């Protein structure tokens, strides 16, 4: 394996460019929100991280299903790599949300549906990693974590629905009618919308780049293990 | 032998074992009774409205007592490699899953038959109603099904019994939310139309989780 192949280079630089572009748009192009002020700018990062976290766990579920169907090791590697990247982004979404909520809701944390569901998702994938860490046999680890990745992801919408029936205070900014009465809700102007779409795209690019690097690391680990085997067998 | 008879044979085997050892029943029951007393001490229940707190306490007790029973149920199959014998039997793997899951549900229900009246008496709440029992049966069904699947996984990990609650509790969030709210709604005397949402959610969860558990069980017991 070469130190950096072409795909890695392209992904690296495209992501750097998009993240810088996103930062510029968030701080220079997007207007200052009237009531919340600059703190509203966290929203662009917050939504990007939350979206990537959710998408990453979706990838974990799909690769779990593919693993159970094909029993090929690469789907296990993809599923666990995506879950790792997803957990990082979910953590960022929770932290950035707390930073925003402190001035706007006057509390770091509330038990609102969307906050609760991110906490549950975070715990689900913590359990996923504990399960993986507790199994030595690679085939069994792959099968169990595939099953868990599928069930974990499928229960998320049901958990969300059940928490949702309780009253929500989380603002519905995208796709909801404006003026929902939720504290911190605002209607987006066109520049805000462009900034949001661009930062979603930038975060998605960042996800694929990190996933790519995580997969390369897994291949490198695999190669080291094989080389060690070969050296040991010659001694 | 038909599918149903195979399932019943597995339940029968578990019932016989349980009647001889009383391992699951006694551990779940004693744990539940202790939990009731710990709750009453820790939360000073005399001061708060029992109608508000009892549904939550009841479901916490069922959930944790359930993990004890579910763990035992699969751990005893693992000891002396009984599970290998079961897997070698000429039958569909799903019969094993349904047999074990229904058996676990049965044992949990027997414990609930004792614990719920204890809750009703000690906290002075009218839990002994058909509607509340319906919620308990629905909640237990999904919990026991996915719990059976996960405890089959848990006994094969290094952490063994400790693993089950970690896997099971975050996945069972919909059960707790809807069961606690449905129980509370029925206790408060809300009209059925208000509680129907929660019952539908419980039924949907049971249907989905039982279907996935049954479909993936093969991969969990595969060697």
3-state secondary structure chain A: CCCCCHHHHHHHHHHHHHHHHHHHHHHHHCCCECCCEHHHHHHHHHHHHHHHHHHHHHHHHHHHHHHHHHCCHHHHHHHHHHHHHHHHHHHHHHHHHHHHHHHHHCCCCCCCHHHHHHHHHHHHHHHHHHHHHCCCCHHHHHHHHHHHHHHHHHHHHHHHHHHHCCCCCCCCCCCCCCCCCCCCCCCCCHHHHHHHHHHHHHHHHHHHHHHHHHHHHHHHHHHHHHHHHHHHHHC
Distance, CA of B21 to CA of B29 (rounded, Å): 14
Kindly indicate the confidence band of residue A115, based on its pLDDT and cuts at 50, 70 and 90. Answer: confident
Mean pLDDT of the B132-158 span:
93
- Report CA-CA distances (Å) from A151 to A19, A46, A121, A147, B208: 33, 26, 12, 6, 10
In a mutational test of the A interface, the residue from B177, B183, B185, B195 whose CB has the highest number of chain A CBs within 10 Å is: B177
Residues 6+ apart with CB under 8 A from A97: A46, A50, A115, A118
Interface contact flag, A131 B157, Cβ < 8 Å = yes
Residues 6+ apart with CB under 8 A from A33: A40, A41, A186, A192
Shortest Cα–Cα distance, A154 to chain B (Å): 9
Q: From B112, B158, B29, select the one nearest A131 (Cα to Cα).
A: B158
Shortest Cα–Cα distance, A127 to chain B (Å): 6
Which residues form the domain of B113?
3-221
In a mutational test of the A interface, the residue from B171, B202, B223 whose CB has the highest number of chain A CBs within 10 Å is: B171
Kindly indicate the confidence band of residue A181, based on its pLDDT and cuts at 50, 70 and 90. Answer: low
Token pair belonging to B4: 């149903």
Interface contact flag, B163 A155, Cβ < 8 Å = no
Percent of residues, chain B, with pLDDT higher than 70: 98
Mean pLDDT of the B66-82 span:
87
- Does residue B81 have a pLDDT over 90? no
Distance, CA of B55 to CA of B69 (rounded, Å): 21
Mean pLDDT of the A26-47 span:
81
For B87-123, the pLDDT digits (tens) are: 888 888 889 999 999 999 999 999 999 999 999 888 8
pTM, to two decimals: 0.87
What pLDDT does residue B122 have?
87
What pLDDT does residue B193 have?
79
- Does residue A169 have a pLDDT over 70? no
Q: Which of A177-181, A198-202, B70-74 bottoms out in mean pLDDT, i.e. has the lowest?
A: A177-181
What pLDDT does residue A171 have?
64
Mean pLDDT of the A148-156 span:
92
Mean pLDDT of the B165-194 span:
89
Kindly indicate the confidence band of residue A178, based on its pLDDT and cuts at 50, 70 and 90. Answer: very low
From the list A131, A146, A154, which residue is nearest B163 (CB)?
A: A131
Residue of A nearest to B166 (CA): A127
Q: From B217, B176, B138, B54, select the one nearest A120 (Cα to Cα).
A: B176
- Does residue A22 have a pLDDT over 90? no
Cβ-based interface (< 8 Å): residues of B facing A: 146, 149-150, 153, 156-159, 163, 166-167, 170-171, 173-174, 177-178, 181, 197-198, 201, 204-205, 208-209, 212-213, 216, 219-220, 222
What pLDDT does residue A179 have?
44
Percent of residues, chain A, with pLDDT higher than 90: 40
How many domains would you assign to chain B? 1
Which A residues 138-167 touch B at CB under 8 Å? 140, 143-144, 146-148, 150-152, 154-155, 158-159, 161-163, 165
What pLDDT does residue A3 have?
63
What pLDDT does residue A56 have?
94
Interface contact flag, B213 A150, Cβ < 8 Å = no
Interface contact flag, B201 A144, Cβ < 8 Å = no
Kindly indicate the confidence band of residue A166, based on its pLDDT and cuts at 50, 70 and 90. Answer: low
Interface contact flag, A131 B149, Cβ < 8 Å = no
- Does residue B185 have a pLDDT over 80? yes
């Amino acid at each position: 394996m070469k130190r950096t192949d072409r795909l890695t280079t392209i992904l690296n630089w495209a992501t750097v460019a998009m993240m810088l572009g996103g930062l510029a748009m968030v701080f220079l192009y997007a207007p200052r929100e009237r009531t919340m002020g600059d703190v509203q700018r966290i929203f662009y990062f917050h939504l990007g991280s939350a979206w990537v976290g959710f998408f990453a766990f979706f990838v974990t579920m799909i690769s779990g299903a593919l693993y159970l169907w094909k029993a090929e090791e690469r789907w296990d590697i993809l599923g666990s790599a995506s879950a790792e990247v997803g957990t990082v982004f979910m953590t960022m979404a929770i932290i950035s949300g707390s930073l925003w909520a402190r001035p706007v809701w006057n509390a770091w944390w509330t038990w609102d549906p969307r906050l609760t569901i991110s906490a549950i998702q975070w715990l689900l994938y913590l359990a996923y990693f504990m399960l993986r860490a507790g199994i030595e046999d690679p085939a069994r680890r792959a099968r169990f974590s595939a099953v868990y990745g599928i069930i974990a992801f499928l229960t998320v919408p049901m958990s969300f629905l059940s928490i949702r029936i309780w009253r929500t205070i989380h603002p519905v900014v995208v796709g909801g009618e404006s003026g929902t009465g939720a504290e911190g809700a605002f209607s987006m102007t066109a520049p805000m919308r462009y900034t949001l779409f661009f930062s979603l795209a930038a975060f998605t690019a960042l996800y694929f780049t990190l996933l790519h690097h995580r997969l390369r690391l897994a291949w490198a680990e695999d190669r080291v293990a094989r080389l060690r085997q070969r050296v040991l067998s010659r001694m | 032998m038909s599918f149903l008879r195979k399932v019943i044979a597995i339940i029968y085997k578990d019932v016989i074992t349980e009647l001889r050892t009383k391992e699951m029943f006694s551990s779940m029951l004693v744990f539940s009774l202790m939990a009731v007393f710990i709750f009453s001490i820790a939360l000073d229940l005399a001061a708060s409205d029992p109608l508000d707190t009892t549904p939550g306490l009841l479901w916490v007790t069922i959930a944790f007592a359930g993990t004890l029973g579910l763990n035992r149920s699969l751990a005893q199959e693992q000891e002396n490699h009984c599970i290998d014998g079961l897997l070698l039997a000429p039958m569909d793997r799903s019969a094993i899953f349904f047999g074990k899951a229904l058996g676990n549900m049965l044992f949990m229900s027997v414990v609930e038959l004792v614990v719920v009246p204890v809750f009703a008496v000690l906290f002075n709440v009218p839990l002994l109603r058909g509607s509340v029992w319906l919620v308990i049966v629905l909640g237990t069904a999904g919990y026991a099904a996915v719990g059976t699947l996960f405890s089959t996984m848990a006994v094969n990990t290094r952490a063994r019994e400790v693993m089950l609650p970690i896997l099971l509790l975050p996945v069972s969030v919909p059960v707790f939310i809807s069961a606690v709210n449905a129980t509370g709604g029925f206790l408060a005397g809300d009209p059925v139309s208000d509680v129907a949402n929660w019952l539908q959610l419980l039924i949907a969860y049971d249907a989905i989780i039982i279907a996935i558990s049954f479909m993936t069980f093969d991969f969990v017991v595969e060697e």
